[in-house]
Amino acid sequence: MKLFVRLGLCVLLAATTAMLFPRIRYQYLVVHHTASDTGNLHSVRRGHWARGWFDAGYHLILSNGSTAVPAGDLEPSLRYWLGTHSVATRSKRHNVLGLHLAVVGNYEQQPPSPATRAHLAHALKLLSERYGVPSAKILLHRDCSATACPGRNIQRADLVRWVDQESGKVTPAVAARQRAVLAKTLTAPGILFPLFLGGLVSIWGLQHRWRMRRRRISQPTANGAGL
């Protein structure tokens, strides 16, 4: 029983930490491209399932409008919702501590459109504010592994400049949808609060049952000693 109580306390501590300090979850924002002209979360997920991964390797996919998903919309994978690590690079540190966002498109062959730049910049600014990641830790995939991703037409200095200068160029509708998606995560206080209360009640219940059981065991001994 002590093991279950300790385990429950560990879960409760983890949930409380994530609820009160969501900014400790991610230390980097890592930008990728899909290297395909069209795509969405579903197509990325299918490709990554073929590699044996349980879901898309990225936390978020940014649409370029090439499918039914509107341009600028963010699609969260289970990794983002659960707050789990990525497998999108060969760097364990950046996989575990990074939030990975892939932009649909091949930016080795062509530059991102002005709209895509603004959509990406706005998403990165929201993520930076939400998780407390400074611009110095907004990275490209090739900063973490030996690869060309996200293509020669996206340079890190340009990316930081876009965040500063172009993040306000998105429409109010796109901005609102991006914010709504980023709120859908287990690291959100509104979701973790019920888990916190549930963990607290569960631990209290386990401790109560443990005390009652000890009383029942000790009671015959006490009665026998008085005879």
Q: Where are the domains of the chain?
A: 1-24+187-220, 26-182
Residue 115 to residues 34, 63, 67, 167, 173, Cα–Cα distance (Å) = 17, 11, 16, 10, 14
CATH hierarchy code of domain 26-182: 3.40.80.10
Share of the chain above pLDDT 70, in %: 75
Predicted confidence at residue 211, as pLDDT, reads 74
Q: Which residues contact 80 (CB under 8 A, 6 or more apart)?
A: 59, 60, 99, 184, 185
Average pLDDT over residues 192-218: 66
Spatial CA neighbour of 106 closest among 33, 188, 198, 25: 33
Number of C-beta neighbours around residue 190 at 10 A: 8
Six-digit token string for 171: 């429409």
Strand partners, 164: none
**What confidence tens digit (pLDDT) does each residue in 142-187 have?**
999 999 999 999 999 999 999 999 999 999 999 999 999 999 886 6
Q: Look up the pTM and report it.
A: 0.76
Average pLDDT over residues 26-50: 96
